[in-house]
Chains A and B, each alone.
Chain A
Amino acid sequence: MENTKNIKKILGKLGPLLALIVLSAVLTAASPNFLTINNVMNILRQTAVNGLIASGMLVVLITAGIDLSVGANAVLCACIMGMFVDKFGISNPVVLLGAGILTGIAIGCINGLLLTKLHLPHPFVSTLGMKNVLAGLALFVVSTKTISGFPTSITWLGSANIFKSAKFSGIPVAFVAMLLLFVVFHLLLNYTALGRTIYCVGGNPEATRLSGINTDNILIFVYALSGFVCAIAGIVIVGRSGVANPSSAISPYDTDAIAACIIGGASFMGGKGTIWGTLIGALIISIIRNGLTLLNAASDMQYMVIGFVIIAAVFIDVTRNRMEAKARRLAGK
């Protein structure tokens, strides 16, 4: 009895990793180009932006919230930097990075304030609204132009590779940076009082507040943190493409990030999720996109498959919650 329970628990924890391995095995068999060192690096490169955004999304999801403005926020940060380059001719990287990061944090703070001070019913509504506002702002600050001509100090994060050689495309700096950030998130969520409080706010905000914790401040911090990683993602986007393109503000960054978190074990109900699960979730999404491209599937097919994966992930979340509730009921007997 105990044993099967433990096996189930381990399977639940390792499930995403198992899915990753199976998926990779299938794609390796289907395409000879999949398991090559350069393609793997390619996948890591493609994972960086989504992984960054997903890390912030994870923390928001843990508090039982959601942040739909992430993609627009990242693109707006890129465009703000583009505005400084294009309109004011500034190329000082400190000013540019500062402007981008401050924008991201400020937008996050506004999201947090909308939730906590205006008492809007659910961050779904306010951040969805914010997504549109930001997409508009992104177009406005660069007068709907696509901006290029960023200094290399800015594009380095998104484009540089370590250990590059003639045959090896190198390890993408963006992915390494993302991993470093993930380590910080891991420490934050597991080893600090703040991290523990974030889980508590997600599990039961009322009990947390009545324990003498200012839950409003925690929530504002969480959305600001999401805004911060969006800004970093925005910088990576600029580096990868070399441009700031305002019309990409409505790309599905938000759903990709949510899918990564949910696949990795987070829940819309809050109180759950780990950063390493999110990493696996983000990798799975990149691998699906990469694999479909290798198999010559057009973007229509890619959208549909990702769509189904998201639905399946949410279904798994719901089922998992139901099983846990059942286990609790039985244990309470």
Chain B
Amino acid sequence: MTDYVVELKNVTKRFPGVVALNNMSLQIKPGEIHGLIGENGAGKSTLIKVLTGVHSADEGELFVGGERQSFKSPNDAKNAGIACVYQELNIIKLLSITDNIFINKTIRKKNSRILDYSEMHKRAHEVMLSLGQDVNEKKPCGNFGMGIMQMVEIAKAVLIDAKLIIMDEPTSSLGEKEVEQLMATVRMLKQKGVAILFVSHKLEELFELCDRVTVMRDGEHIITEEIENMDNDKLITAMVGRTLDNQYPKIDVKKGKVALKVENLNSTGVLHDISFEAYHGEILGIAGLVGAGRTETCQAIFGAFPIDRGDVYIDEKKVTIRSPKDAVRNRIALLTEDRKGQGLVLSLGIDTNLILGNMKRFTKGMWLNKNIIKEIGSGNISDFKIKAPSLKTVVGQLSGGNQQKVVIGKWINTDADIYIFDEPTRGIDVGAKVEVYNIMNKLVAQGKCVIMVSSELPEVLGMSDRVIVMREGRIMGEIDRNAEQFSQETIMKAAWGGRL
């Protein structure tokens, strides 16, 4: 008998051209919350896939409860008691909570093939209640928020009596309140003796939640340590293998004139009297909880979200923006929060994606000017340190950070004056984050105006000259970087309904 619920010993997994896992070992104790971090491409996803039977390891051993296992399929892993809540939930939104929970293990009436819905509803309600969610299990999942849908996934894991539940970046799409609930649920599962492997990009969460933490880099195990013995710097150092002495390379730039002025932007039920100003040479942060109307505000300014009334002034001149086309003509750029869905054409090359915002610059008459495309494109690749074999590489094959740099490149090629960055560093690794910050610095140094929406408070505080806080479609107030109360606590309070 061993002390570990799941143990990986010297596992190696190779893919054509890459070693995704190299001699990786991991031990998870029963009833512990085990953090797993690493930069994008460090091999976390592959590790999860080996644990859940999606991939089988080339070398090495896997033990579950002391017994050696070799999973042939995800079902084998489930039967052994390993469940996973993926970042992209496997929820069918049109089906009820009950249907989703029992989707592959329906309960039938005795000696018949008819489904026993009353029993399933009862059990679904019980298990959701046990996770702290008193919800109507007969309603379709799509009626609920991301938080509840995630709970449905956890409920599935609980119902198969999972010994280990893997959570892959479970908080990335949740609001603050939902994160709190998730953490409470995770702690409760721990009480019941379930081990949790918690994969996250957010260090604060790991410190708050985990007992131990494992850091991976380049498919290798770097360190496993009690969380008390670690701090931010140690974790980051372990992850990147070098000291990131400045995570937020903020530079000081002299503030210029008003670049963008928004007056009384209204959209029934979503935005109420949004008014603010943003200056040349300034990074304006917009903080708030998910659903506070930050993204809608950005999209409304950009002409991609309908408004009932409200005025927008650029350099003190009133402008009418009814479509993204109008916005681009007025030299506004919007980096959307949904990189893959709204930012990139994944099936096409880097070159095409780089020219998409400003075709005129890359054409002679109606013809594409391949020389200029090559010249500016190669410039973009070296300026933003995009790692790709060539300008023609299909964007879908790049890592998240490199994809983000391509989108940023697209907007910089439009030579806009006002850059709205909605969650510019979501889902990209620490190194790429710093590079994105440096690009923002370069922009404000050129006198451009940058507006940054972010759910990561340290980032908002680290990079903004001024922060406005939104809540329920309203602006709660603004704080200057030099003000005394420029802190996470003040912003959080405002986001939760306090006054600034």
Contacts and interface: CB of A to CB of B under 8 A. Distances in A.
B324 A211 contact: yes
B62 interface: no
A193 B327 CA distance: 20
A196 B15 contact: no
A80 to B, nearest CB: 31
B410 A211 contact: yes
A193 B348 CA distance: 14
A117 interface: no
A328 interface: yes
B394 interface: yes
Interface string B408-436: 00100010000000000000000000000
A328 B397 CA distance: 5
Interface residues of A, number: 28
Contact of A213 (B356, B363, B397): B356
Interface stretch (B123-131, B247-255, B328-336, B454-462): B328-336
B274 interface: no
Interface string B314-341: 0000000001110111000010100001
Chain B contact surface mostly: mixed
A191 interface: yes
A248 to B, nearest CB: 37
A200 to B, nearest CB: 5
A31 interface: no
Contacts of B336: 210
A191 B304 contact: no
Interface in A292-333: 327-328, 330-333
A328 B403 CA distance: 13
Contacts of B394: 328
B342 A214 contact: no
Contacts of A191: 367-368
A204 B368 contact: no
A40 B308 CA distance: 64
Contact of B352 (A200, A206, A272, A332): A200
B140 interface: no
A332 B348 contact: no
Contact of B46 (A196, A214, A271, A333): A333
Choose among A194, A207, A328, A332 the residue with the greatest number of B CB atoms under 10 Å from its CB. Answer: A207
A196 B367 CA distance: 10
Contact of B345 (A194, A208, A330): A208
Given A1-B17, A331-B397, A332-B399, A208 B367 contact: no
A212 interface: yes
Given A193-B368, A199-B352, A213 B325 contact: yes
A1 B334 CA distance: 40
Contacts of B142: none
A200 B356 contact: yes
Contacts of A214: 323, 325
A332 B394 CA distance: 11
Interface in B359-387: 359-360, 362-363, 366-368
A330 B397 CA distance: 8
B162 interface: no
The list of the 8 closest CB pairs from A to B, nearest first, reads A212-B328, A203-B345, A331-B397, A193-B359, A211-B356, A204-B345, A203-B347, A271-B347
